[in-house]
Amino acid sequence: MKYDYLIVGAGLFGAVFAHEMTKDGKSCLIIDKRDHIAGNIYTKKWADINVHWYGAHIFHTGNKAIWDYINQFAEFNNFINSPMAVYKDELYNLPFNMNTFSKMWNIRTPKEAKDIIEGQIKDLNIMEPKNLEEQALSLAGRDVYEKLVKGYTEKQWGRDCRELPSFIIKRLPLRFTYDNNYFNDRFQGIPINGYTEIVKKMIGDTPVILGKTYKEFMAENEAKSDRDEFGKILYTGMIDEYFDFCLGELEYRTVKFEHELMEGVDNYQGNAVVNYTEREIPYTRIIEHKHFEFGTQPDTVVSKEYPVEWKSGDEPYYPVNNERNNELYRKYEEMAAGEENVLFGGRLGQYKYYDMDKVIEKALEMVADERG
C-alpha cells in the first residue's frame, strides 16, 4: 500500500502530526518500538488509577492556543503541581517560597527571608563560581543549598556538585510569596482518564504497528513482494541512531521506575510528588499517582524514581544539551537536512528538551510547513 507518511514513534509529536495530516486527507502509518502508544506520556490503568508509567507529567502552558488544542481531546482537571521535599526528618514545600523559608528558619516575613539568604551569600563571598556547588551557594545561600539542592542534584547527575560545571544551574528561583504552585503558566492540569486516551483520540483510525523498530520494519518491508511505499518519513527517534551513530553517540538522560501497588493503603504520602533530597536515599522522588486526579480509591500506586547513568541501549528520556553534545547534534542536523523526504521531530529527533506544550507547538509548526 502507498502511504503519504510513515511516522516513526507513536508519542505526542507523531500523534499530533498524524491527526493533522489525516484531517487533510493524507494517509499515514505509525510504527513504534514499544508495545504501547503515547511514548513517555503513557498512562496505564492499575487498580482503577491512571499511573504515569514514565514519571509525572503535568500539562502546563502559557499559550492559550496550545491549551485549547489539547482540550479538544480530553477534559482537564484543576490539578496544581505543588511538590514537597523531604530532607532527613524535615518536610518542605517546593518550589522555594515563603512556606519553605518559614519552615526552615521559623520566620514569617519576606524581609526576614531575604535578609537571611543575602547574609549567607555575602558571608560566602563567592565572586566567580568555579563549579555547580559554588554557583548554587552564590544564588541561594548555604541552608537552601545543603538541604534542598546538593543531594538531589548529585543523585541526578551521579557526581559531586563540586565536579559539575556551574552553567548547569543558571538560576534558582526564590519566591518571596506563600505560593506552592510549581509552575508560573496560566494553564495547568491533568487529563481526566489519562494521557493515553488523548493520544488514542489523536491517532484515530490511523494504522499503528507496535513492537517494531524503524530498522526492523524497513528490513521486513523491503523483503515483502507487496511492500508498502511512503511519500515521506517523520522520524521521532534518536537522530544519531538514524544515522547509525556514524559521527559518534549523543548523550541522553534516563531514569528508572519501580512501581508498587499498595493494597489497603488509601493514601501513602498525601501528595502527588515528594522529592527526597539526601544523597544517601537512592531515589530522587516518590510519585503517588491517585493524587493527580484527586482519587478516592481504596488502594494506591506509588512509583520510586531512580536516576541512572546513561549508557548505550538505555531508554532515552531527554537530551544532555551541553557544549559537546550540541556541537555533535549540529553535525547530525546538517546530515538530516540532506535526507530527501525525511522529517525529524520531537525531543530525540530534534535533540531538544521540550515540555509537552512545546512538543505540540513544534509538531504543529511542522504540519504548517508541510501544508505550505
Catalytic residue among 146, 355, 361, 370: 355
Q: Is 251 a catalytic residue?
A: no
Helix (H) or strand (E) run with residue 359 in it: helix 356-371
- For 322-332, letters b (16+ CB in 10 Å) and e give eeebeebbeeb
Q: Which of 20, 145, 253, 351 is catalytic?
A: 253
For every residue of 65-120, DSSP letters joined together read HHHHHHTTS--B-------EEEETTEEEESSSSHHHHHHHHS--SHHHHHHHHHHH
- 118 catalytic? Reply is no
CA separation for the pair 153, 148 (Å, rounded): 9
Q: Spot the catalytic one: 214, 285, 293, 347.
A: 285
CB distance 348 to 13 below 8 Å: no
Say whether 175 is catalytic.
Answer: yes
Catalytic pick among 159, 162, 186, 353 = 353
* CA–CA distance, 354 with 331 (Å, rounded to integer): 20
Tell me how far apart the alpha carbons of residues 43 and 71 are, in angstroms, rounded to a whole number. 17
CA quadruple 315, 318, 324, 327: dihedral sign: positive
Answer yes or no: 279 catalytic: no
171 is catalytic: yes
Whole-number Å distance between alpha carbons of 236 and 348: 6
Decide if 10 contacts 357 (C-beta within 8 A). Answer: no
CA nearest neighbour of 136 among 152, 115, 114: 152
d(CA 233, CA 55): 29
Catalytic residue check, 361: no
Grid coordinates of 23 = 484531517
Task: Look up 353 and say whether it is catalytic.
Answer: yes
Catalytic option among 171, 226, 263, 340: 171
Catalytic site residue from 175, 182, 195, 252: 175
CB 320 within 8 A of CB 347: no
Residues with active-site annotation: 171, 175, 253, 285, 305, 353, 355
